[in-house]
């Protein structure tokens, strides 16, 4: 009698916990309360809580779909060349030496997530580590904690958010940079830090660069909000360009989800800065191998849209106006929320951080218990750490949110 071999039944596969943000969104959708507010989603909404298709994207789409030469052939493995080159010029500046000297390797990715993954995979394979780990801010975008271990890079954190000041824990951050093993990799948010909305000042960025150079550290920039933060594309790229100017070794993960409203098109890029044109060629050859093994070729539609916008002067100017529309509305919401809390409601505490923070998200500084009270009693959906998406506020719901927040702080919910 022969032994019977049992087939795989997957009985020992554990059930993974649900994603907190998507779980929050599902709860919001199921809620029938007339005043419910969703402050959890990381996507722009207009003043009527609706998704906003940028006017420039509509124009570019019309041009694209009416192009008689349009086809659906494969793109090159590393992406649409006119897109990746324009994306590099956008983040580094068209007159940057790394552009003019052809020292940037640019590869199209599946949005910023794909750029983070490909950048991490490349470092895992080719970076000369003294201590194989990546340092990420505490807190950071939750996906960073999943992307790096997936390619065998452990994650450590550096102090970033100070709950006492509801601002940057700069001395502790700098101290970690100084004490880290030489040639360590630090993941830095280029602007509009997610989830806190707290960014270093230019002077602080300079001090960070000083230590990075002194210790031989590598900067892994995540740039998901260029233009979306301040409304100025060049201003939001300042930290990256300053690090390039000072020759800090770096790469940049770039996304057009937020600043072009192309969330579902997954348009991103990875840019690796090299010391020479020859090194850039070698790096591109390896990134091509890695990309080929995972996605073969990137999707075309979103890249063609962004390429049209970046390479057509008229569309580019329209895009800059659209970006200002989005960032401007969020800045106005910050100002109005601050006014309501400080002037009208006189909510206990200092609320200046609301206007001092930047970008889509704000750390309110409230406790998990107060956040829970807002969800359960006021039907205002936010994460337990008090982070809110400013894009979820508008002229119709901001007073309700401010009054509910005031009650939560006073313990009256």
Determine phi and psi for 167, rounding to 5 degrees: -145, -160
CB 250 within 8 A of CB 244: yes
pTM of the entire predicted model? 0.95
Tally of CB atoms within 10 A around 214: 11
Q: Say if residue 369 is in the same domain as residue 265.
A: no
Please measure the distance between the N-terminal and C-terminal CA atoms of the chain and give it in whole angstroms.
Answer: 71
Cβ neighbours for 235, distance < 8 A, ≥ 6 positions apart: 229
What would the pLDDT profile of 254-263 be if each residue is shown by its tens digit? 999 999 999 9
Q: Say if residue 30 is in the same domain as residue 165.
A: no
Q: Is residue 142 part of a domain?
A: yes
Instruction: Assign 251 to helix, strand or coil.
Output: strand
Q: Is residue 396 part of a domain?
A: yes
Residue from 36, 59, 222, 236 carrying the catalytic annotation:
222
Q: Say if residue 80 is in the same domain as residue 186.
A: yes
Q: Say if residue 33 is in the same domain as residue 97.
A: no
Confidence at residue 3, expressed as pLDDT on a 0 to 100 scale? 72
Q: Say if residue 124 is in the same domain as residue 46.
A: no
Respond yes or no: is residue 141 known to be catalytic.
yes
Q: Beta partners for 361?
A: 389
Low-confidence spans in the chain with pLDDT less than 70: 1-2
Instruction: Assign 271 to helix, strand or coil.
Output: strand
Q: Say if residue 255 is in the same domain as residue 306.
A: yes
Whose CA is closest to 361, among 239, 242, 198? 198
Confidence at residue 22, expressed as pLDDT on a 0 to 100 scale? 84
Q: Is residue 49 part of a domain?
A: yes
CATH of the domain at 268: 3.40.640.10
Which range of residues forms the domain containing residue 88? 74-311
Q: Say if residue 162 is in the same domain as residue 208.
A: yes
Q: Beta partners for 389?
A: 361
Q: Is residue 131 part of a domain?
A: yes
Respond yes or no: is residue 58 known to be catalytic.
no
Residue where a domain terminates, one of 311, 342, 361: 311
Q: Say if residue 400 is in the same domain as residue 307.
A: no
Residue where a domain terminates, one of 311, 338, 361: 311
Q: Say if residue 294 is in the same domain as residue 189.
A: yes
* Bridge pairing between strands 37-38 and 161-162: unpaired
Q: Say if residue 307 is in the same domain as residue 330.
A: no
* Bridge pairing between strands 250-255 and 218-223: parallel
Q: From the DSSP assignment, how many helices (H) and strands (E) are in the chain?
A: 16, 13
Confidence at residue 18, expressed as pLDDT on a 0 to 100 scale? 86
Q: Is residue 109 part of a domain?
A: yes
Respond yes or no: is residue 258 known to be catalytic.
yes
Helices 81-92 and 238-245, axial angle in degrees (round to 10): 80
Q: Say if residue 101 is in the same domain as residue 224.
A: yes
Q: Is residue 85 part of a domain?
A: yes
Residue where a domain terminates, one of 287, 311, 335: 311
Domain count across the chain: 2
Residue from 52, 141, 319, 351 carrying the catalytic annotation:
141
CATH of the domain at 351: 3.90.1150.10
Please give the Cα distance from 361 to 330 (Å, whole number): 10
Q: Say if residue 146 is in the same domain as residue 263.
A: yes
What would the pLDDT profile of 321-358 be if each residue is shown by its tens digit? 999 999 999 999 999 999 999 999 999 999 999 999 99
Q: Is residue 67 part of a domain?
A: no
Residue from 59, 258, 284, 407 carrying the catalytic annotation:
258
Q: Is residue 7 part of a domain?
A: no
Confidence at residue 21, expressed as pLDDT on a 0 to 100 scale? 82
Identify the sign of the CA torsion 57, 61, 67, 69. Answer: positive
DSSP 102-134: T-EEEEEEEHHHHHHHHHHHHHHHH---SS--E
């Amino acid at each position: 009698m022969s032994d019977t071999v049992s087939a795989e039944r997957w009985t020992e596969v554990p059930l993974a916990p649900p994603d907190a943000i998507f779980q929050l969104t599902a709860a919001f959708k199921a809620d029938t309360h007339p005043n419910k507010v969703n402050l959890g989603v990381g996507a722009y909404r207009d003043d009527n809580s609706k998704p906003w298709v940028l006017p420039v994207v509509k124009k570019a789409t019309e041009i694209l779909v009416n192009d008689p030469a349009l086809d659906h052939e494969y793109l090159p493995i590393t992406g649409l060349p006119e897109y990746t080159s324009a994306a590099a010029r956008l983040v580094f500046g068209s007159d940057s030496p790394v552009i003019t000297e052809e020292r940037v390797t640019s590869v199209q990715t599946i949005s910023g997530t794909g750029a983070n993954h490909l950048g991490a995979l490349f470092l895992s394979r080719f970076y000369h580590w003294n201590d194989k780990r990546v340092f990420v801010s505490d807190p950071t975008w939750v996906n960073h904690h999943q992307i790096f271990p997936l390619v065998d890079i452990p994650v450590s954190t550096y102090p970033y958010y100070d709950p006492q000041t509801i601002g940057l824990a700069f001395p502790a951050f700098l101290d970690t940079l100084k004490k880290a093993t030489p040639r360590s990799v630090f993941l830095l948010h280029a602007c509009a830090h997610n989830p806190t909305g707290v960014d270093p000042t230019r002077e602080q960025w300079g001090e960070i660069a000083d230590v990075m150079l002194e210790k031989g550290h590598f900067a892994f920039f995540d740039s998901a909000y260029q233009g979306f933060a301040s409304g100025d594309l060049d201003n939001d790229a300042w930290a990256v360009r300053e690090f390039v100017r000072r020759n800090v070794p770096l790469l940049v993960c770039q996304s057009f989800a937020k600043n072009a409203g192309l969330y579902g098109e997954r348009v991103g890029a990875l840019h690796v800065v090299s010391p020479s044109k020859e090194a850039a060629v070698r790096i591109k050859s390896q990134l091509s191998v890695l990309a080929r093994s995972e996605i073969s070729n990137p999707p075309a539609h979103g890249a063609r849209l962004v390429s049209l916008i970046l390479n057509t002067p008229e569309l580019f100017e329209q895009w800059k106006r659209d970006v200002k529309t989005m960032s401007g509305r969020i800045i106005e919401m910050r100002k109005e929320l601050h006014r309501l809390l400080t002037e009208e409601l006189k909510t206990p505490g200092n609320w200046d951080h609301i206007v001092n923070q930047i970008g889509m998200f704000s750390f309110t500084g409230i406790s998990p218990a107060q956040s829970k009270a807002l969800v359960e009693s006021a039907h205002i959906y936010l994460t337990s750490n008090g982070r809110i998406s400013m894009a979820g506020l508008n002229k119709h719901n901001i007073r309700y949110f401010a009054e509910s927040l005031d009650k939560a702080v006073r313990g009256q919910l």
